[in-house]
């Protein structure tokens, strides 16, 4: 009788197996009709998003999830963030003088960098931004960086959250609420529709420096301030702040002993403190932090917060794999196959080509074709989408 492990060779015997052959799928893809490069260069982000089955299906899925939430407040909030977003907390600072004063206070407290400017950290248009349908998900060099990339990212993250919730409930008997992580993952990202404003060259504005001088936490503290300003319950406000850094760990060795420093707990508290200044509230009275001696710290948070954080984690695959390999691949094709040269490789012609291929196919599928089937298969797939 054969056993499942019979194919494994004996130690030191036979030739080495070489690279494994993974399943191919590119030839079976049903892609949208091919467009000429000149047409693609002329497309708007809205046109590009509407043309994409991936983007439109993700966007509609988000609206369906929002409609399915049992909590009416979360239901209305999630629907607004997807389809008619606005960032209202800045209405507390209506004049340039108000924003300059707040900026100086945030610099003094170490939340902003004094070399920046109020119009940089809070760009104009906060009450009339784009929607999830056209917004990219991240910086140009990060992940799902194309029209509608935000909808793709969040729809997938919500699927992960719902799987986490179901499994924690079924296996461990935890009474986790499904509404909170599903709504929180969507709401958490929505300031990006304001921050990532499209530019004429096919790129977009990126997040400003905020806490820790990083350029990827602005949406986290802004949305925390926004929900504080709107006086949403402390449960969903906590989910805003905890989404990024809750599990951040600084581990070191003391001889053979592992020393764990859960820096994420302090960072979540730091995000809450930064947001509280902008929202002009006391985070302890709000029910978000607690006093411990002279310090104000994060109390232990329950499973819904952990699910929100854990499900906000598709980005390492999308960024460390898909973005890392498909961006240079497309730049090579742009030069070799489509005649995009010189400044155009850093301008609208290349940006539009990149945005179109990623929005129609997806960064991760293109990456998987590249690593499973090779350069030529990925090239042929792109040529099925784009013609000269």
Res 14 pLDDT > 90: no
pLDDT of residue 8: 58
pLDDT at 13: 76
Question: What confidence score (pLDDT) does residue 7 get?
Answer: 55
Categorize the per-residue pLDDT at 140 as very low, low, confident or very high, splitting at 50, 70 and 90: confident
Show the domain range for 300. Answer: 92-117+207-311
The answer to whether 31 and 359 are in contact (CB under 8 A) is no
State the pLDDT confidence band at 9, using cuts at 50, 70 and 90.
low
Task: Give the pLDDT score at 307.
Answer: 97
Beta strands in 201-328 (DSSP E): 250-254, 257-261, 290-292, 295-297
Stretch 210-219: mean pLDDT = 94
What is the per-residue pLDDT for 16? 92
**Has residue 340 got a pLDDT over 90?**
yes
Q: Is residue 281 part of a domain?
A: yes
Mean pLDDT in residue range 11-17: 82
23-31 long-range contacts, Cβ below 8 Å, gap at least 24? 23/372, 24/372, 24/373, 24/377, 25/368, 25/369, 25/372, 26/369, 26/373, 26/377, 26/378, 26/380, 26/381, 29/361, 29/365, 29/381, 29/384, 31/360, 31/361, 31/381, 31/384, 31/385
> Cα separation of 388 and 384, whole Å?
11
Residue at 9 is within a domain? no
Say yes or no to pLDDT of 376 above 70.
yes
| 275 domain residue, yes or no | yes
Q: What is the pTM of this model?
A: 0.93
Domain count, the chain: 1
Asked if the model's pLDDT at residue 275 lies above 80, the reply is: yes
Average pLDDT on 365-388 reads 97
pLDDT at 323: 94
d(CA 378, CA 375): 5
Contact at 8 Å (CB) between 386 and 38?
Answer: no
Is 219 inside a domain boundary?
A: yes
Q: Which two tokens stand for residue 228?
A: 């504080």
Mean pLDDT of the chain: 95
- What is the torsional sign of CA 321, 324, 327, 333? negative
At a CB cut-off of 8 Å and minimum separation 6, what does 130 contact? 45, 193, 194, 197, 198
Tokens coding 123: 């760009």
pLDDT of 141 reads 86
Q: Decide if pLDDT at 278 tops 70.
A: yes
pLDDT at 223 (0 to 100): 98
Residue 108 counted as domain residue? yes
pLDDT at residue 334 tops 90? yes
Condensed to tens digits (0 to 9), the pLDDT of residues 45-59 reads: 999 999 999 999 999
What is the per-residue pLDDT across 118-129, written as a single tens digit (0 to 9) for each? 999 999 999 999
Selection from 263, 266, 261 nearest residue 289 by Cα: 266
State what percent of residues in the chain have pLDDT above 70. Answer: 97
Report, as an integer, the average pLDDT of 174-200: 97
Rounded to whole angstroms, the Cα distance separating 80 from 144 reads 22
Q: Is residue 242 part of a domain?
A: yes
Residue given tokens 């966007």 in the structure block? 59
| Domain assignment present for 233 | yes
The tens digit of pLDDT for each residue in 288-325 reads 999 999 999 999 999 999 999 999 999 999 999 999 99
- Asked if residue 248 belongs to a domain, the reply is yes
């Amino acid at each position: 009788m054969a056993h499942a492990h019979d194919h494994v060779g004996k130690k030191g015997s036979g030739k080495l197996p070489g690279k494994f052959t993974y399943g191919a799928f590119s030839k079976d893809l049903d892609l949208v009709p091919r467009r000429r490069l000149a047409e693609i260069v002329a497309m708007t982000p809205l046109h590009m998003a509407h043309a994409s089955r991936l983007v439109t299906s993700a966007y509609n899925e988000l609206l369906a999830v929002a409609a399915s939430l049992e909590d009416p407040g979360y239901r209305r909030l999630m629907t607004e963030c997807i389809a008619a977003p606005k960032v209202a907390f800045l209405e507390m600072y209506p004049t340039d003088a108000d924003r300059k004063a707040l900026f100086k206070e945030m610099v003094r407290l170490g939340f902003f960098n004094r070399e920046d400017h109020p119009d940089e950290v809070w760009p104009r248009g906060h009450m009339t931004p784009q929607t999830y349908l056209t917004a990219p998900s991240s910086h140009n060099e990060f992940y799902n960086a194309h029209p509608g990339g935000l909808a793709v990212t969040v729809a997938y993250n919500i699927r992960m959250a719902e799987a986490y919730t179901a499994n924690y409930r079924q296996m461990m008997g935890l009474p986790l609420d499904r509404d909170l992580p599903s709504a929180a993952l969507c709401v958490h990202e929505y300031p990006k529709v304001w921050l990532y404003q499209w530019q004429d060259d096919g790129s977009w504005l990126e997040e400003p420096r905020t806490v820790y001088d990083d350029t990827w936490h602005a949406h986290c503290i802004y949305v925390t301030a926004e929900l504080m300003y709107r006086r949403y319950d402390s449960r969903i406000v906590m989910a805003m702040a905890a989404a990024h850094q809750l599990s951040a760990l600084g581990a070191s060795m003391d001889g053979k002993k592992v020393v764990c420093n859960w820096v994420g707990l302090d960072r979540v508290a730091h995000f809450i403190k930064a947001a509280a200044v902008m929202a002009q509230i006391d985070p302890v009275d709000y029910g978000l932090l607690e006093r411990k001696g002279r310090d104000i710290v994060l109390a232990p948070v329950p499973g819904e917060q952990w699910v929100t954080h854990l499900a906000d984690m598709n980005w390492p695959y999308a960024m460390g794999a898909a973005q890392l390999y498909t961006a240079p691949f497309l730049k090579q094709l742009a030069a070799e196959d489509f005649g995009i040269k010189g400044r155009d490789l850093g301008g609208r012609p290349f940006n539009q080509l990149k945005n179109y291929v990623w929005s129609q196919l997806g960064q991760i599928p293109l990456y998987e074709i590249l690593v499973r089937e090779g350069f030529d298969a990925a090239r042929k797939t792109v040529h099925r989408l784009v013609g000269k």
